Amino acid sequence: MTVKQTKKLAAPVQDDALATSAINMGVLVASTPTQAIQQASGVATALADIIDKQKLFKVIRGKKFVFCEGWTTLAAMLGLMPREIEANRMSDGSWEARVDLVRVATGDVVGGASAMCGVDESEWAKSNEYARRSMAATRATSKACRLSMSWIMKLAGYEVTPAEEVPKDGFTDNKAPPIEGEATPVVDTPPPTTPLAGRAELWAAVQRAATEAEMALPAKEDMPAFIEYLRQAVGVEDVNNYTGIIEGLKRVSIALIIDSFRESNNKAG
């Protein structure tokens, strides 16, 4: 999508200004981004309680990664269920599976993903084929949930990479694997209007949040206005309170903020 260049400072996120159409995510239906975030936060709180009590996560290098059962619990809370579509054996004995996410109430497919379990993995090289096939389906299930609902899992306080994708010793570069087709995030040099250090940290946080949500940020020339829009959306008064904006970013959906900003831009243009 081509975003028109901002002609004036985007207005703050006001519920009455954004309540032009419902935000419909199945079980989560809201008239404003704020309501959507509040509902999602409630889901995240209930989800965290279940995951913690049932130990549906593993800790690697101090971070909590959720097992497939935790991801499917989140899907069920939102009225979604995984459905395996296919599983294919590769010539070397590896397996690849495809899973769709289906809305229970309507039968509509709302997401999906594919994943592999390969013989090149030390943990699975000597396993029986049925185990590799099953793990491919498990990974595809978790990944399908991740692609659609990672932002809620993050609200619940967990890492967004499914536990089944994480090596037992963690990632050697301390980073999760990128999603297929996802470009490696590059942190642009912030516009030279405020102190560099704090704003660079904010810039990087916004980039990470957008990458995790699989959302493209506004055009580079629109980013200063977007940062200002974000500041007002998270309720931070001081334009130089970068830490406050970063903390506020953790409590909102970056996807909703980006969509709202673009809609505001289009109206202003």
* Residue range 186-205, pLDDT digits in tens: 434 344 334 445 778 888 88
Assess if residue 245 is contained within a domain: yes
* 37 and 146 belong to one structural domain: yes
Assess if residue 14 is contained within a domain: no
Q: With beta carbons less than 8 A apart as the criterion, state whether 261 and 11 touch.
A: no
Q: Is the pLDDT of residue 20 over 70?
A: no
Q: What angle do CA 121, 124, 127 make, to 5 degrees?
A: 150
Give the pLDDT of residue 267: 59
Mean pLDDT in residue range 154-177: 77
Q: Is the pLDDT of residue 62 over 90?
A: no
Assess if residue 22 is contained within a domain: no
* 145 and 104 belong to one structural domain: yes
* 262 and 154 belong to one structural domain: no
- Domain range for 157 is 28-165
Report which of residues 57 and 7 the model is more confident about: 57
| Helix, strand and coil percent figures for the chain, each rounded to 5 | 45, 15, 40
* 76 and 139 belong to one structural domain: yes
Using CA atoms, how far apart are residues 17 and 184, in angstroms rounded to an integer? 35
Question: Which of the residue ranges 19-23, 118-122, 125-129, 132-136 has the most confident prediction, judged by mean pLDDT?
Answer: 132-136
pTM of the shown model:
0.59
Give the pLDDT of residue 140: 96
* 46 and 83 belong to one structural domain: yes
* 49 and 142 belong to one structural domain: yes
Q: What is the pLDDT of residues 110-126, one digit of tens each?
A: 999 999 999 998 889 88
* 153 and 46 belong to one structural domain: yes
* 153 and 37 belong to one structural domain: yes
Helices of type H across 28-88: 33-54, 68-77
User: Among the three residues 165, 189, 217, which one is the final residue of a domain in this structure?
Assistant: 165
Compute the residue count for the chain.
269
The DSSP bridge partners found for residue 102 are 81, 109
